A and B are shown apart, each in its own frame.
Chain A
Amino acid sequence: MIAELGHFSLILALLVAVVQSILPMVGAQRASRPMMDVAAPAALLQFGAVALAFAALTHGYVTSDFSLKNVVENSHSLKPLLYKITGVWGNHEGSMLLWALILTLYGAAVAAFGRNLPPSLKARVLSVHGMIGVGFLAFILFTSNPFLRVLPVPPDGQGLNPILQDPGLAFHPPFLYLGYVGFSMAFSFAVAALIEGRVDPAWARWVRPWTLVAWCALTLGICLGSWWAYYELGWGGWWAWDPVENASFMPWLSGTALLHSAIVVEKRDTLKGWTIFLALVTFSLSLLGTFLVRSGVLSSVHAFAVDPARGAFILALLVIAIGGSLVLFALRAPALRSTGTFAPISRESALILNNLLLATAALTVFLGTLYPLFLDVIGGDKVSVGSPYYNATFVPLMVPLVLVMAAGPMMTWKRADLAGVLMRLRVAFGLALVVAVIMIIVTKGHEAMAPLGIALAAWLLFGTAQELADRIRLFQAPWEVVRNRLVHTTRASWGMSIAHAGLAVTIAGITIASGWQQEAIQTLKPGESITLAGDVYRFDRVEPLPGPNYSAEQATVTLSHDGRAFATVHPSRRTYPLQRMTTTDVAIHTDGFSDRYVVLGDPQPDGGWIFRIYYNPLVPWVWFGALIMVLGGIMSLSDRRLRIGAPVRKPKRAGGELAA
């Protein structure tokens, strides 16, 4: 009964979306206020209807209603409650419903908080957003309906994939989707602006908070996903350039470019066509990511629904959404005119360079991801593209990007004094050089990547600090002046400094973690130990540990350094008899600077156990840095000018508050 309610509610949402996409658009065309005013209540109603459907499906999972096909296939009465709930989006149908829920949430947020948007723009934005809703709701109802019943009702569910029972995996899809789908807002704004034929600084100011919210959520989602891969899969790595990882990384790269180019539109009223293009491309890449994951065009671990019929539907959606918007772009964008002019050396130029590098990086990832498919279609060899490709193409693009990143914020708009900027960066340059020399001495000149990477991180960190110090005139003016400037530094500036510093932390983490990892693999009997990177790992004992639907063996390993024990860890392995599956539970001891990562392997006939131990220096910084970047994004989101929106009328609340 409740499931039927959800089903009807979803149908209602589709109908509302159809109305929302037609009436306001026609109204805006005819300047009819009543028709335009349909948009906001429609968006709210659409969200309410999808939320009700989602709640109905969640109810089905929580109560283990095995008359629902989706619940039978993906849940089990023995699952802990948490995983019953997260199981709602742990499958194709449910995750598409979550996608639709987040899509309509953004639409509702614009309807509720976009009071000071010009009525025609608001109507058009919500109309475009309604069209995306129509596409996805139709997709769910016609090809991926989670509310289908099954007869006879089976006694219990089938879905209890042990690997998926993990908090990291359970919570990264919602953040990824908040990010992916969040870029739909920038897309709707871009299409609406193309229809209106007007892009101005006010437009950029409305678009930026939505892009920032999406960007923060996507950063967090990618971060969680990579962390999950690190501790759950037990292979000691944290990024594999897997097609699905790439699918989330491409919109991140172009979304980052969009964040920066929107600043240029806002402050300098130029770079409009490019910004619109980036907005279209970023959401297109998000859609493409969905397509790649769901259609089976590229097979991957994550591809949990391989179904050509769904693939064909999504492809049709892609053609309409991406093709349509690009055609509109080709027709309308050439007419967009800019007022701002700038010299080759200026902050505008620095941001353009940033955009070019980020866009090229996104394109390299794109080609690497799709190259096997291209080659296959033209009848060539079957190949797989792995990290050597990305190391050779993506990494070199990041070097100039980071070099410019430290200098860019110091440049002034319109025309900058390059010599002056470089002079201000001399301390950062000197420090980066010192760090590089230290690294060369430490590595005895055997490595090039570690000194380069760490020097780049130092350059970015100190350059960012220098910019902040200059801005508040630290050490250059009396304390009163400094304090005054400190107080008046905008949150957007803080956000920029924090986010750039976060990237420096991540770069340092990536460099050291990928170059300096140490590992040991050995069979140990209780009482024996391994020494790795100066630490002694003593295997004390192994005990059976019964679980609800698995049996486990848990080892106790004592870590000591110079004879002093500093930690005890418990790596374990679980055997799920029903699924005939063995999973390893990695034990990680972290001190914030490095991880000691212990995996329990197979028992040996002689009574020993195989242990795999990694020393991962600085690997936590990869994720710390990402979290700092998110913090920077949130800081920037709370900036006054984004909360106020246009410089007219009463203040509005930030869209971010709702989504965050």
Chain B
Amino acid sequence: MPPDTKSNPGRRLLFLLPVLAFLGLVGVFTLGLGHDPTALPSAMIDKPAPAFALGPVMADKPGLGRADLGGKPVLVNFFASWCAPCRIEHATLAGLAASGVPLYGIAYKDKPENAQRFLTDLGDPYQKIGLDLDGRTAIDFGVYGVPETYILDRDGRIRFRYAGALTDEVLKTEILPRLAALERP
């Protein structure tokens, strides 16, 4: 190793910069690792659903608002046409709707025409669908990313949140037992 002829401190500092930037990044990653996206804690659990009133997506179906929740346990599913996992979970939702479970949809940051196309292509499992164009309602619900599914009880309170695509396995182990428990008087 030849001796350093240019030990200008400013220049040395410049070469240290990448290390410092990387240390910052590692800090962020360490904090980021803590949260498992499939088991996100929700600050909204057991709280009443936020107030919202969303316009319709489909011409022949009403929109969705806070007033529609309550009376019976329901599922509220946030989806978007641009979201690939939503596409994957769609068949599961269709099966769920066919078995008679009340399912409401909220189209998250989606253009109405895209959401309509998504539903006409893949089938529409929702009883009511609201259009959350600016994502405000999703923020109020605490949505981390689509797809996400919430179980609400008959008082309109959020009882459970599932982040990620629903599968038959998830339905069987996470969703349906909770729903059945809420349906018992």
Contact = CB atoms under 8 A, between A and B. Distances in A.
| Chains A and B bind each other | yes
A197 B11 contact: no
A297 to B, nearest CB: 4
Interface string A507-540: 0000000000000010000000000000000000
Contacts of B121: 584, 599, 601-602, 610, 612
Contacts of A580: 91-92, 94-95, 168
Contacts of B145: 299, 382, 384
Interface of A: 163, 197, 233, 235, 240, 273, 277, 281, 291, 295-297, 299, 301, 306, 308, 311-312, 315, 318-319, 322-323, 326-327, 329-330, 332-335, 337, 370, 373-374, 376-377, 381-382, 384, 521, 579-582, 584, 599, 601-602, 610, 612
Nearest to A311: B33
A376 to B, nearest CB: 7
Interface residues of B, number: 49
A297 B33 contact: yes
Question: Which A-B residue pairs are the 3 nearest by beta carbons?
Answer: A299-B37, A197-B1, A601-B121
B26 A297 contact: no
Contact of B30 (A296, A315, A326, A374): A315
Contacts of B91: 579-582
10 contacts: A163-B88, A296-B38, A308-B36, A334-B6, A335-B3, A337-B5, A374-B28, A377-B32, A381-B139, A580-B92
Contacts of B35: 376
Contacts of A330: 12, 15-16, 18-19
B31 A377 contact: yes
Contacts, number: 116
A296 B36 contact: yes
A374 B164 CA distance: 21
Contact of A301 (B31, B84, B109): B84
A299 B146 CA distance: 10
Contacts of A602: 120-123
Contacts of A323: 19, 22-23, 26
A235 B117 CA distance: 10
Given A297-B32, A370-B28, A601-B120, 11 more contacts: A296-B37, A297-B29, A312-B33, A335-B1, A335-B3, A335-B5, A373-B28, A382-B144, A579-B91, A602-B121, A612-B121
Interface in B15-52: 15-16, 18-19, 22-23, 26, 28-38
B65 interface: no
A327 B17 CA distance: 10
B117 A612 contact: yes
Contacts of B58: none
Contact of A306 (B11, B28, B38): B38
A172 to B, nearest CB: 16
B78 to A, nearest CB: 12
Interface in B59-108: 82, 84-85, 87-88, 90-92, 94-95
Contact of B4 (A296, A319, A327, A334): A334
Contact of B139 (A291, A295, A332, A382): A382
A299 B33 CA distance: 11
B143 interface: yes
A361 B26 CA distance: 22
A197 to B, nearest CB: 4
A315 B139 contact: no
A163 B85 CA distance: 12
Contacts of B33: 295-297, 308, 311-312, 315
A233 B84 contact: yes
Contacts of B87: 233
Interface in B126-150: 139, 143-145
Nearest to B117: A521
A240 B80 CA distance: 14
Contacts of A311: 33
B29 A315 contact: yes
Contacts of A326: 18-19, 22
Given A323-B26, A601-B121, A334 B19 contact: no
B26 A521 contact: no
B88 A581 contact: yes
A281 B3 CA distance: 26
Given A601-B120, A601-B121, A315 B15 contact: no
B185 interface: no
A370 B31 CA distance: 13
Contacts of A382: 139, 143-145
Nearest to B142: A382
B7 interface: yes
Contacts of B22: 322-323, 326
A281 B18 CA distance: 9
Nearest to A384: B145
A312 B31 CA distance: 11
Contacts of B32: 297, 373, 376-377
A610 B116 CA distance: 12
A308 B168 CA distance: 24
A430 B32 CA distance: 52
B26 A306 contact: no
Contacts of A384: 109, 145
Contacts of B92: 580
A306 B37 CA distance: 8
Contacts of B37: 296, 299, 306
A291 B28 CA distance: 13
A206 B94 CA distance: 58
Contacts of B29: 291, 295, 297, 315, 318
B15 A334 contact: yes
Nearest to A315: B29
B122 A327 contact: no
Contacts of A233: 84, 87
Given A334-B7, A612-B121, A277 B2 contact: no
Contacts of A381: 139
Contacts of A235: 82
Contacts of B15: 273, 329-330, 333-334
A582 B16 contact: no
A247 to B, nearest CB: 14
Nearest to A195: B1
Contacts of A581: 88, 91
Nearest to A309: B33
B31 A299 contact: no
A301 B26 contact: no
Nearest to B28: A377
A295 B36 CA distance: 9
Contacts of B26: 315, 318-319, 323
A233 B122 CA distance: 13
B122 A334 contact: no
Contacts of B88: 163, 301, 581
A326 B94 CA distance: 52
Nearest to B17: A330
Residue with the greatest number of chain B CB neighbours at <10 A, chosen from A297, A315, A337: A297
A194 B21 CA distance: 20
Contacts of B84: 233, 301
B36 A521 contact: no
Contacts of B31: 377
Contact of B36 (A306, A322, A374): A306
Interface centre among B6, B19, B35, B85 (most CB of A within 10 A): B19
